[in-house]
Each structure stands twice: as structure tokens, then as C-alpha cells.
Structure 1
Amino acid sequence: MKYANYIFNARGVNNLGDNMQIITIDKIYEYMKIPKEDIIYIDKNKTGTYNGEYVILPVSMPLIDYVEGGICNRFSDHIIPVFIGLTLAKDSLLPQEVSYLKKYEPIGCRDERTLSTVRAYGIDSYLHGCITALLPKRENNDGEKVFIVDVCDELLEFIPEDIKKDAIYLSHMHAEHIEDPKYMAMEYYEKYKNDARLVITSLLHCSVPCMAAGIPVVLAKKYISYRFGWLDKLLPIYNINNFKDIDWNPQTIEYEEHKKIIMDITIDRLRNTFNKYSKVCDLSWFYEDRQKNEYIVDAFESIKQFIDSKFIDKDFPYEYSIWGLTQMSELTVSYIRKKCPNAILKHVYDKYKRVYFAGKISQNPEKIVDNPNEIIIVTTNGAKKMALELFDALNKSKDSYVFFEPIK
């Protein structure tokens, strides 16, 4: 089993903040001393189809694009998610999403809105904040430059001229194609760490990495997004109503002890998840990772051939009945429904059981005498002797029934 991280290059506008989260996971793995060969990078847009070696994946990236079935269809069975920074704009969950999140409790939420949504469904969860708050503090504070990054126009008139005159204006939003957005994000991050004495920004993933690095930050937005619903515990957030009150000479935010608590919790969750799943996943992968043959469900083959020969028109409402309630019955009905959606299951026969199956209540096979011409698929080997005797007595055509026949 391996550890995983994302690769992400947006299809439209690249927000370098997305890759700041990826960089942070790399830093956490360095802190944990995870060898590079034990880390697999997976395209964020392909996590649902990933079929390589089993991995655990810290989930902190926003899951905003629509996926049918929701969160549970975002990750393949070969990815064990560790939710350390889940963020949701929506305020409701699908039933299957609730079941999926409960499987991986506790759920670390990036913001309080997400925490409230998740807790409303009885899911064990906690407020973690953004993972980029774990980035390390810089070793020196020799920076002399002011960076103004993606601020609203309304803020500019409030920035003192002595700060504004020599400031460097940057943007994390890039509409043009970027070959390696992670590399660009790292360049920006290093620039801030090495050169900044002050960063003025409206962005979550500019303000938090800079705060973590020990850079004085002014975080000011026209309106404050739910995504910041945790950060104001550590860092003042100004909005358009109090731009006039901004402290333009802010101090470094000192929270190294708190940062260690977050790091310890994050690492514990990653290691505990790895330890929980690694042995069984490694065993499974040992067998899964092989040159594979073509396989059939041998006991179903005679039934499949019969259906394929009889049910030719996919739109026709063929009628058929099942004799014998087994897994083969379920497979038969499933196969017919996929092949001919309009086909109609008329009767379900079983000598011993009176239960509902596929919307029908099972009845004794003796009732077949009332429907002597119906197509009957016998899905249990134990009924073959009784069926042959009954079909002979009814002079039933041999092309109107088929038996479950294991292949030798």
C-alpha cells in the first residue's frame, strides 16, 4: 500500500491555491519521512477511475465539480480517502454520501459551514481548518517587499501610499495554459517566504500559507466567504465595512504550538488509516496485480446462451418466469433487464420459499400447470429432476425452458 497525492491542472482558470494544498501534503509526507517511492500522484480528475496499487489519499481539495452519485463516486475502490479538510458549498447530502462519509469517520472539515452540514446527518466530524496552515515557518524575517495579491478595487484606495508605491502586484488566477501549475505555485510561495515583509490579499490560499510562514498578512475581502469560517480565530479578516480600520502594520501570527497539534492530529489520522488498511489491501493487490484471463460465470453460461437466442429485440416486452431462488436468479433477472429493459418477469417459482423477489411473491412450482406455455428459466440445480418430470407431463416444448448447468 502507498500514500497518494493529487496532480491538478485546471481545465479553465488555474487557481494556484489548489496546488498550494498539494504542496502542503508533500510537506506533510516529508515531515513523516515517507520515501518518495512510496507516494503515488493521481490526476484529480481521474480519482474515480484509478486502478493502481491501493493508496490512502488526504482529501483537502474542494470537491465542487458535479459527479453522479456524489462524493462516493469520486474515489475508486483502490483509494482510501482520509478526509482532513472536506469543504462543501452545498448544504445537503445524498443517502449514499452519508453512508460513505460514515465509513471514513471522523471527517475533518475545512470550514464551519461544511461541519454543520455533515453533523446534520449524524456524521462524526470536527473542524480542522485548511491544511495549508501546516506549512512551516520561515527561518528568517529579512523580507523587504510588499505583495498585493488579487485584492478588490475598493480596497486599493485604503492602502497607504508609502505601502502601495513600491508594492508588487500578483495574481494567483491564470486563464492561460500553465504547463506545471504546482511548480508555479511553489515559485510564488518561495517568493513570499524569501522576499515579503507584508502580504495584502483576499485569497485563502495566499493568506494562510503566508501566515504559516510567519509573514505579516492583511486579509481583506469585499465580502467574507464561508470558506474562511475558521480562519478568523487566528487572523483578522476585514470586509468592505471596516477597510478603514485595517492595521497596515500587522504582526506575525504566532501559532507554532497550535500548528503542532494540527500536525499531530493529521499525521495520526494518516498513519492510523494506513495501519488499518495496509495488510488487507496489500494482500488483495498481490492477487489483483496479475496477467488476467477471460472469465465467465460458468454456471450461468447455459442460461445466458438461452436468453441471447430468445431475447433478440431489446425493445420487445418478452415474458419469462424463474424457478428456484438463488444468486443465479438475481443474475438472470439483472442480465435480462440490461439486455431487454421491457422484458416482464411474470412468475417466480420456488418449492420451499414464499418471499418477494423482483416485485413478485414466489409460489409453488405446481402452479406452472396454469401457465404451461410460458418461458421458464430454472436457476437451481436442485429443481432439475422435478422440473423435467413436470415439463414432460405438460408436454412442454424444449425451446421454452432452460436449466442451470454447471460447466465441467
Structure 2
Amino acid sequence: MKDVKYAVMGCSRDITNVGDFVQAIAGRQFLPKVDMYLDRDLDLKKYDGDPVKMIMNGWYMHKPENWPPADNIDPLLVSMHINASVYDKMTTAESLAYFKKHEPIGCRDKGTMNLLQKNGIDAYFSGCLTLTLGKTYVRKEDNVTDEVLFVDPLFHYWSLKSMLLDYKKLGSRIRRGRFFDFSLKKKVFKENFTDEVLDKAIFLDQMIPKTNIENNFEIADKYLKRLCNAKLVVTSRIHCALPCLAMGTPVVFLNGGFGGYNNQFNSRFDGLIDFFNRIDINDETKVISRNFNFEGKIGLNNIPVNNIVHKPFAKELFSKAESFVNNSL
């Protein structure tokens, strides 16, 4: 058997969003071993160690000057998101040559796909690799708890208290006519969920402390196991909602507060957001709507069934990741 080395990408002790580690676990689960962790923003270009294979799914990038990666990294470029804030820096001649060398490029969202195709790169919408997490986290009815988890629901709808404690937040919301978003959040909850669900809801967020990589992976693992066994999950975090789809946990995505589709950070939703049962909130008109047919309020015994649009994408991602690893054995 070949002495192949494998690396996991996207892991830094400075990352404070567990979603980054959720994405790293999605890639790691396909590897026969892990020889090293490489920081997505700091290590890829300067890596000068032994040849290493790496599944390179994730968000690119906070430091685009450290792109493209070194030649001794053999990549599977799949589930990539290039943020609109760095479009120009990620489409330099050097970067496009790198993409051309490793095409076709699997894109986590259609915004990234369109960017690469516009620049002559063979690219396709792959969806997110977290859609394969059902490989490791298997939902069994005997293990399902009675937990109702609200994970960062409408987290951009700042509370009155947080605005009064932060004058920059307060000024921003007043200027944009969004001071009363906190009351709109309450309206979304009240109109769409029974009192029983709201009384039972456990509110969590995805932010984690700066510790070490091993501890952060442990936090992410416990987080995913909790999602896997929950009765219902309500969230505005895609790396909470996508794993729930993968594991078969009923999930409802609250789509509001992101500042409109033209916001530079919202290209990451394009395509992915169609996978979810959603409650959509128009931040301008304050209109609340659903993209799924469902009578009445969501209750403990009245939970919508997940959409299955994601399943062909999950199957293809599974196949590509396994082939990438198997071809090196």
C-alpha cells in the first residue's frame, strides 16, 4: 500500500464558529488517517512538507494573498465557496491557472460556480460536503431526544438590550430602518411555532471559545451528535441546517436579517437555500412566508418533513470524496 499522507483543512484555533469544524469533520470522515492539519488561510501557499492529499471544501478566504496552494498539495476542490468580498483577488491569472489545472471545480453555491465559469473554468454546483455527514452521524429513532434546538435563529435580528449596550449597533439599525427587527423576530416565532415548542426551545449559538484544534473538534462532534438526535432544529445557520438534512433531523431554516441578496456575504446561499424548509422574512416589507406547504403552526406533534432535493448532491459528493481517497490507496 502506498505511503500516502492526508491533511485536513480549515482548522485554526482562531476560528470561533463551530461551523468551520463541522465542515472539516465532513472532509475528515472520508480519510483513512490524518497526518496533519493545515490552516485554510495561512498554511496552504507556504506548505513545503511531503506530498499530501487534501479535500479542500470550505469558505475562501480571509487572506487571499495566501492563495493558491503549494504544488505538493494534491487537492479535491469540491464544495468551495469564494466570497464576493474577494472575487477579484481569487481570480488573478495565477489563481485561474491553478483552478484550470484542477478542474472541474465543485462549488458549494451557484455564485461561486458562476464566477468561475465566467472566467473560463469548468465548474459545477456540488452543494456542501456537510450533506454527507449522515455517513458518520446516523439518526436512530431509539436515540432521538425530546430536545427542540433553536440554533442562532435570526441572529442578525439584534435584541433591544444588545443595541442599547452598543451604540454602533444602535446607530446602524436606526440608519437602515431596522431598529424594530427584535419585535419582528418575536412575530416570526409566534406566528409559526406553538407555545409548546417555544416553551421547550433550547437556544444555542455556534460560537465557540479560542482553544485548541483537538478541543474544537470535540466540541463540533458533540454538537453534531446533539443535532442528530434532536426532535426538531430551527436555525439561521447553514452549517447547522445542512448537517440536519444529512442526518435526517427535522429542520426549519429561518431566512431573514442577512441584508438582502445583494449583500456580499449572501452569495454563499445561492442554491443551498433551496434545500431547506424555510420561513422567509423580507427585511424591507416585513412579510413572513413559507416555501413549503404546511397547515397551522409547527408543534411537537406537527413537524414538517424535510425536503429531499439535496439527496442527489449528497450522493455525488459521497462518490467523489470516496474516489479521491480510494485512488490513492
TM-score, normalised relative to structure 2: 0.72
In structure 2, how many angstroms separate the alpha carbons of the residues matched to 1:257 and 1:124?
A: 20
Q: Which amino acid aligns with 2:54?
A: L
Confirm or deny: 8 A CA contact 1:146 1:167 kept in the other structure.
Answer: yes
Rg bigger for which structure?
Answer: 1
- Residue identity (%): 26
Identify the residue that residue 187 of structure 2 maps to in structure 1.
157
Query: Which structure 2 residue ranges, 5 or more long, are not aligned?
Result: 158-183
- Residue by residue, what CA displacement relative to the aligned partner does 1:175-226 show, whole Å, maximum 9, x if unpaired? x4233222111111111112x1110000010000111110111101214622
Aligned length: 262
Q: 1:123 to 1:269 in 2, by over 3 A?
A: farther
In structure 2, how many angstroms separate the alpha carbons of the residues matched to 1:71 and 1:130?
A: 21
Identify the residue that residue 260 of structure 1 maps to in structure 2.
315
Q: Shift in Å at residue 63 of structure 1?
A: 1.7
1:49 aligns with 2:49: no
Alignment of 1:79-98 (within 5 A): 79-90=73-84, 91-92=87-88, 93-98=91-96
In structure 2, how many angstroms separate the alpha carbons of the residues matched to 1:83 and 1:7?
A: 13
Q: Using CA pairs below 8 Å that are at least 6 residues apart, which structure has the higher relative contact order? A: 2
CA RMSD for the aligned pairs? 2.4
Q: Which amino acid aligns with 1:221?
A: N
Alignment of 1:5-404 (within 5 A): 5-6=8-9, 8-11=11-14, 14-29=16-31, 34=32, 36=33, 39-44=35-40, 45-68=42-65, 71-72=67-68, 75-90=69-84, 91-92=87-88, 93-136=91-134, 138-141=138-141, 142-152=144-154, 153=157, 154-159=184-189, 160=193, 161-174=195-208, 176-179=209-212, 180-194=215-229, 196-222=230-256, 223=258, 225-241=266-282, 243-245=288-290, 248=298, 249-254=303-308, 259-272=314-327, 274=328
In structure 1, how many angstroms separate the alpha carbons of the residues matched to 2:27 and 2:100?
A: 23
Residue 225 of structure 2: SS of its match in structure 1?
helix
- Residue by residue, what CA displacement relative to the aligned partner does 1:281-331 show, whole Å, maximum 9, x if unpaired? xxxxxxxxxxxxxxxxxxxxxxxxxxxxxxxxxxxxxxxxxxxxxxxxxxx
Q: Which amino acid aligns with 1:193?
A: C
Query: Which structure 1 residue ranges, 5 or more long, are not aligned?
Result: 276-408
Q: Shift in Å at residue 125 of structure 1?
A: 1.2
Confirm or deny: 8 A CA contact 1:58 1:270 kept in the other structure.
Answer: no
In structure 2, how many angstroms separate the alpha carbons of the residues matched to 1:97 and 1:258?
A: 26
Residue 14 of structure 1: SS of its match in structure 2?
coil
Residue 268 of structure 2: SS of its match in structure 1?
helix
Confirm or deny: 8 A CA contact 2:139 2:249 kept in the other structure.
Answer: no
In structure 1, how many angstroms separate the alpha carbons of the residues matched to 2:77 and 2:326?
A: 13
